Structure 1
Amino acid sequence: MHKYSFEKLEVWKESTQLAIKIYKISGLFPSREKFGLSSQMRRCSVSISSNIAEGTSRLTSKDKAHFMTIAYGSAIELLNQAIISKELSLITNESYLDLRKEIESITNKINALRNHFLKT
């Protein structure tokens, strides 16, 4: 089976696993959050890996870097939502710290990829 270039990227693999984790965690939120924080967290977690994938298909390095910037922004948005979720006691402090660690790893890799595209 043919693999697209994004499927080979460690940062894409990590971000898809993060999205799956977010779906599982947010599925435990109260039903009143179905269209609120849960929905927001799911959308932006999927946006991270989606923008990485889309960015790799772009023709110019500038375009590729732009999509990495969008992916980075989605990851920071997710971190903000995780902080709010912790403050509302929707997730445990342990879950929050785990998410924060994963987001930090992903944002570091996105930033490195973005910088690579800007240099080419």
Structure 2
Amino acid sequence: MAQDFHDLLVWQRSIELSVAVYELTKGFPKEEIYGLTSQLRRASVSVASNIAEGRGRLNNGEFRQFLGLAQGSNYEVQTQLVIAKRMNLGKSEHIDRAEKLSKEVGRMLSAFIATVSARS
């Protein structure tokens, strides 16, 4: 297993997701700043943050728990992206990029959770 969270591909990809979400939400209407803009940004940052925090824990059980939290935050992002798309809040190419990254992060997290669980 990687010694540092920076080495984890899933963490690196989740950072890309956060950047994509920030780029997307720059174009959201100002009235959404405390609504969907804030929620999407916080949820996307939470994905990478939980992976990093979990990596710093002392055992695989705790790490697995934080990976589960990251997965939950990623599902939040996916849900909020669906809402943004249906409300036509951002450029469709930015939404599509964020959706693609979120789905990729979700697959990576699922596989990583299974690997960490097998080692517990």
- Name the Cα RMSD after superposition: 1.2
Aligned to 2:13: 14
Q: Could you tell me which amino acid in structure 2 is paired with residue 41 of structure 1?
A: L
TM-score (norm 2): 0.92
Identity percentage over the alignment? 33
TM-score (norm 1): 0.92
Distance of 2:27 and 2:113 partners within structure 1: 34
- Measured after TM superposition, the shift of residue 76 of structure 1 is 0.6
Unaligned runs of 5+ in 2: none
Unaligned runs of 5+ in 1: none
May I ask how many residue pairs the two structures share in their alignment?
Answer: 117
- Measured after TM superposition, the shift of residue 101 of structure 1 is 1.4
Aligned to 2:96: 97
- Measured after TM superposition, the shift of residue 94 of structure 1 is 3.2
Distance of 1:29 and 1:12 partners within structure 2: 26
Written as runs of structure 1 = structure 2, the 5 A alignment for 1:1-120 is 5-120=4-119
- Measured after TM superposition, the shift of residue 24 of structure 1 is 1.6
Q: Which has the higher contact order (CA 8 A, sep 6+)?
A: 2
